[in-house]
Amino acid sequence: MKTDDEGRLLYRLTEEQPVDTLVANVAGDAGITADGRDVRFVLIGDEPGPTLFRIAGDGLLRTGAVIDRDRLCPRQPVCPVLVDVAVQRGVLVTIVKVRVEIVDLNDNAPTFAAPEVQFRLAESTPPGILFPLPVAADPDGPANGVVGYRVSPESVEFALRVQNLSTGDVDVRLVLNRPLDRQREQRHTFSLVAFDGGQPQLSGSVVISIHVDDVRQYLPRFDNASYQVLVRENSPPGSIVIRLHASAAAGATIIYSFSRRTRAVYGNVFAINSTTGLVRLIGALDQDAYNLSVCTVSNSNKCPY
């Protein structure tokens, strides 16, 4: 019998077990004689514990539902469910505190928001330039979550740079290794593969299509590759975070937008003006740092990643 730091009876249960799976003998572990006549067991406490489990007169704790850890605790390293067992013997009631940790199965493969992402690069783009790529999502716990990326097949022109950020996000970028030659190859196509840490290992991919434009074309480009901004924690909604600026060919319309992932994760905290590049705060700040991906497109309102 194990207990946690708070003295709760500690049990572990693998997710996705069928209803009525035996979790533990709470009565026996708590030293309670349960003959079904003199002792009554009742689950109390906050949800979802009383919904996920049940306990009968024999003091055996069983599942009351099929537990999907990825919905209960998406991407969390530990998934505890706390339940209290009220033990009634006559007029005497005692409480046995229980902690059930839900063990993750690698039942999700990494997925990308779209099956294909297309980029347009000028033939004159210098080597060393980095381009942001989409990141994969995986609701499994960290051990079974996304642990790496690779390109398939490997490319001579392009390489991959993966960086873990202090925010907990992952920055995946494509690096141009050598000058592009539009006469030799006008389009480069390969897959960005995300793989997880499970056994067996699962993976997902997105097709990356890069169109090489004529050297005379001038594609939109930010003044800087990255920006770092300090924002006060108590800044009210409407506060200006930063004004971004990109350049393009004369007469071209530049549209600023967050990437798909930034919109999905931080769209309730930050907003960007598609015309001016002004980023404003629209919600409360509850993290130490944020990593926002912004792209510019000319005469289009779709961010490619």
Segments making up each domain of the chain, as ranges:
2-103, 106-217, 220-305
Residue 162: predicted pLDDT:
92
Q: Report the CATH number of the 106-217 domain.
A: 2.60.40.60
Determine if the pTM surpasses 0.75.
no
> Which range, of 86-100, 156-170, 230-244, averages the lowest pLDDT?
156-170
pLDDT at residue 287 greater than cutoff 70? yes
CA atoms within 13 A on the CB side of 194: 26
Least confident range from 35-49, 80-94, 155-169, 217-231: namely 217-231
Q: Quick: pLDDT tens for 179-202.
A: 988 889 999 999 999 999 999 899
Beta-bridge partners for 150: 193
Beta bridge partners of 143: none
CATH match for 220-305 among 1.10.260.40, 3.40.980.10, 1.10.630.10, 2.60.40.60: 2.60.40.60
d(CA 55, CA 66): 15
CATH number of 2-103: 2.60.40.60
3-state secondary structure of 52: helix
In this prediction, residue 118 carries a pLDDT of 87
pLDDT band at 241 (very low <50, low <70, confident <90, very high): very high
Give the span between the Cα atoms of 104 and 13, in whole angstroms.
Answer: 9
pLDDT in tens, 130-152: 888 989 999 999 999 999 999 99
Are 106-217 and 220-305 equal in CATH topology? yes
Residue 29, token pair as written in the block: 């572990």
- Are 30 and 72 in contact by the 8 Å Cβ rule? The answer is no
State in Å, rounded, how far the first CA of the chain is from the last one. 50
Q: Poorest-confidence range of 66-75, 158-167, 219-228?
A: 219-228
CA separation for the pair 216, 123 (Å, rounded) = 8
Alpha-carbon distance of 167 to 149, in angstroms, equals 19
pLDDT score for 21: 96
